[in-house]
């Protein structure tokens, strides 16, 4: 957008990724300490801060991502009279909640969408969920291109560009053995990412096959969605589970592992499936919004019902029994991702949407 005449101002909370983001994007950035949890007093302070920023900057477009930034950003933009207000929906926390918290999160989504001028779900199945649950008027809804928030950098997620020394370093970290079969899961180590049933399923499989390894690339978030004690214990002590924490080098793990397992309970349009698919890694995933927009069961990967430990076991066993079939599916998925989900394609479609709204 900056290269097409836009003056881009980025706003986010602080975080370990911020320095890299500012270096990569070369755009102005302001820290507003938004939280991911429900924190009314802090949220009010951030709302006031955003209003002050918008009054000073007078933006033509405010485009928000994530539930909290969406709520505060869209309210502040509407309060300040910003005419073009866009909110991208990349997942709904309410999907995995019940009772009072479900009602609160549903209310927050409705307020956000009411304040927005346009709502862009990042997958068609997510848009269907929004319509089915009457969260937003359908006239406001739009999916950019075929879906995804930002597409995928095809030139990065390719075996041809990997650094041999870095690959060797990751192998040493994993204590890599070519006789083993490595399952990989990338994502936060929390309950709604399906980690509990994945760890339990792997533990059952390992009893009959100790050449199987499970690599978990992600960080714990105990303050948001803590894992049960027995799951934490298994992750830290099981001889077949290798927790590697958060990593900025996921492409190297995708290259080294044999099967990508993604058991998440809720998503919008998961980048990690695009990344795995672009690397030609066979995929097993849950049947949820976002996943089913990318993977077709028994055509480009294997799908199980979210939260179903037995089906996780069955899919992994099926993959291990017929690796050739799964690799053919992976090649088909790789072709689809390289054809439809390149970053440049998403960017061009978003740029055209911006121009249309401005005119």
CATH superfamily of 2-151+343-358: Glycogen Phosphorylase B; (3.40.50.2000)
The pLDDT, as a whole number, for residue 223 is: 78
User: What's the pLDDT tens digit per position in 198-211?
Assistant: 999 999 999 999 99
Rounded to whole angstroms, how far apart are CA atoms 82 and 358? 12
Both tokens of 92, joined, read: 């709904």
Average pLDDT over residues 79-88: 98
Domain segments of the chain: what residues?
Answer: 2-151+343-358, 159-340
Q: Look at residue 115 and tell me whether its pLDDT is greater than 80.
A: yes
Rounded to whole angstroms, how far apart are CA atoms 245 and 242? 9
- Residue 268 backbone class (left: φ over 0; alpha: ψ -120 to 50; beta: rest): alpha
Average pLDDT over residues 145-168: 92
CATH superfamily of 159-340: Glycogen Phosphorylase B; (3.40.50.2000)
Judge if 2-151+343-358 and 159-340 fold alike in CATH terms.
yes
Mean pLDDT taken over the chain? 95
pTM of model > 0.85: no
Q: What Rg value do the Cα atoms of the chain yield, rounded? A: 21
User: What's the pLDDT tens digit per position in 212-265?
Assistant: 999 999 999 887 778 999 999 999 999 999 999 999 899 999 999 999 999 999
């Amino acid at each position: 957008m900056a290269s097409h005449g836009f003056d881009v101002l980025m706003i986010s909370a602080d975080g370990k990724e911020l320095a890299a983001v500012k270096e990569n994007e070369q755009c102005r950035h302001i820290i507003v300490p938004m939280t991911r949890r429900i924190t009314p007093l802090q949220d009010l302070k951030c709302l006031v801060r955003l209003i002050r920023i918008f009054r000073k900057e007078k933006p033509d477009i405010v485009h928000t991502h994530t539930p909290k930034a969406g709520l505060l950003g869209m309210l502040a933009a509407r309060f300040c009279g910003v005419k073009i207000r866009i909110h991208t929906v990349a997942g709904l926390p309410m999907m995995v909640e019940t009772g009072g918290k479900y009602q609160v999160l549903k209310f927050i989504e409705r307020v956000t969408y009411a304040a927005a001028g346009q709502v862009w779900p990042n997958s068609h199945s997510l848009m269907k969920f929004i319509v089915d649950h009457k969260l937003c008027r359908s006239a406001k809804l739009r999916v950019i291109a075929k879906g995804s928030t930002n597409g995928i950098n095809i030139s990065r997620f390719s075996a041809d560009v990997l650094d041999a020394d870095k690959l060797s370093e990751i192998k040493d970290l994993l204590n890599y053995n070519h006789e083993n079969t490595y399952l990989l899961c990338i994502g936060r180590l929390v309950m709604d990412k399906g980690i509990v049933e994945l760890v339990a399923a792997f533990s059952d499989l390992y009893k009959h096959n100790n050449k199987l390894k499970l690599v978990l690339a992600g960080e714990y978030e105990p303050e948001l969605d803590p894992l049960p004690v027995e799951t934490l214990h298994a992750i830290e002590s099981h001889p077949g589970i290798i927790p590697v924490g958060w990593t900025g080098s996921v492409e190297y793990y995708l290259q080294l592992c044999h099967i990508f397992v993604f058991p998440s309970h809720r998503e919008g349009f998961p980048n990690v499936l695009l990344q795995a698919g672009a690397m030609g890694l066979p995929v097993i995933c849950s049947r949820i919004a976002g996943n089913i927009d990318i993977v077709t069961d028994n055509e480009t990967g294997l799908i199980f019902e979210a939260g179903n430990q037995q089906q996780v076991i069955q899919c992994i066993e099926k993959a291990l029994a017929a690796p050739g079939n799964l690799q053919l599916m992976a090649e088909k998925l790789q072709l689809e991702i390289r054809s439809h989900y390149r970053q440049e394609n998403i960017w061009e479609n978003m740029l055209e949407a911006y121009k249309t709204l401005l005119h």
